[in-house]
Amino acid sequence: MSEATHVSQAVNMTQKSKTVDLSIKEVSIPGIRSFNLIMKENEQSRHFVIKDMKESTRDIRIIVPMDHGQKFLDKLILVVKFGVEYLSKHPSQRARRDSDRVFTENMYTEAGRKYYFDVYNNNGDLHLRLTYKYDGRRDSIFIDSECLIAFVEIISNFNKEYPSITDVLLWKDLVITPQAIHPPTIQPTGVAVPSNVNLPPSVKESTERKNRHALKVCSDPAPCSIEHNGKKYHFEIVEGDNIFLRMTEMIGEIKKTKIHIPIESVKLFGDSLGDMIDKFSKVRLTEEKAPAS
């Protein structure tokens, strides 16, 4: 069946069917940035929406049909892996200016949706500018590295729990307003994210909320430290509402950098680091074997 026929059917079906919210997830860094990831469904299709909840950008949204949910997730994982490799480089090997774009990927669908994944170096921190082009619209949001980790976890769960129910792509974006739909139950699942990124537990129609717990250091396995060139790198497992591997860089008694990695994502980071070290070793070996000119 041609895409034009699919389009015609999709337009007719979306006009007749209601869209309901299956799951709403919030990812936020208090006082800085807040996002909603919303899984939506009508009788024929599922898609999720990413919205920047800042007052000035609430009309900006990224829409991803579940037909392409895994492909979209794969692009985000590429960005995460790049970030690990890039930040491990010596500063002299990084971009010369903080405003430099240091990584780019893109993704296109048969229905004409275009997604652009551009990573920028902002004073030593990496930020993803995610751009969505479709049907005359162009929407962009900026996602910092900690929120991006939470995005990967949430979208991974979306792909598992809400797979595509049709091979017909959504053709017309539905109007999305908070007042439009009142789902009987919102069923998000817990997602592990860094400690300064707030992700609410499951939310139901009632206003009940679980109290969040302070992080505590686990004694088994015991924390460990590595010292190199006057710096100390401290590793420990910490537990609160979720469990993280916390890595702290210290110079003397001064804490320079602290990173929280969800325990479920540690293997992803480990694999990325392993791949990076293997590539580095092969390059060095090749350089050593090369005859001197």
**DSSP-derived secondary structure for 54-83:** SGGGTT-EEEEEGGGHHHHHHHHHHHHHHH
The confidence score (pLDDT) of residue 47 equals: 95
pLDDT per residue as tens, the chain (293 positions): 444 444 445 444 444 568 899 999 999 877 778 899 999 998 878 999 999 988 666 688 999 999 999 999 999 999 999 988 888 887 777 766 556 788 999 999 998 999 999 999 877 788 999 999 999 999 999 998 888 999 999 999 999 999 887 533 333 333 433 333 333 332 333 334 444 444 444 333 322 333 344 557 776 677 788 887 777 888 888 876 668 788 888 776 666 666 778 877 777 877 887 888 888 888 777 777 777 65
Does the domain made of 20-168 have the CATH classification 3.30.2450.30?
Answer: yes
Which residues have CB under 8 Å from 12's CB, separation 6+?
none
Which residues have CB under 8 Å from 54's CB, separation 6+?
33, 34
Copy the structure tokens of residue 46: 């599922």
Cis amide bond preceding 221, omega within 30 = yes
Query: Which overall architecture, per CATH, does domain 216-282 show?
Result: Roll (3.10)
Angle between helices 69-87 and 266-289 (to 10 degrees): 60
- What count of Cα atoms within 13 Å lies in the side-chain half-sphere of residue 192? 16
Instruction: Specify the pTM.
Output: 0.54
Burial level of 259, CB count in 10 A (0-12/13-18/19+)?
middle
Which residues have CB under 8 Å from 116's CB, separation 6+?
104, 105, 106, 129, 130, 131, 133
Which residues have CB under 8 Å from 145's CB, separation 6+?
80, 83, 125, 126, 127, 128
The confidence score (pLDDT) of residue 65 equals: 94
> Residue 159's closest CA among 46, 266, 272, 259?
46
Domain boundaries, the chain: 20-168, 216-282
H-helix or E-strand spanning residue 33: strand 33-41
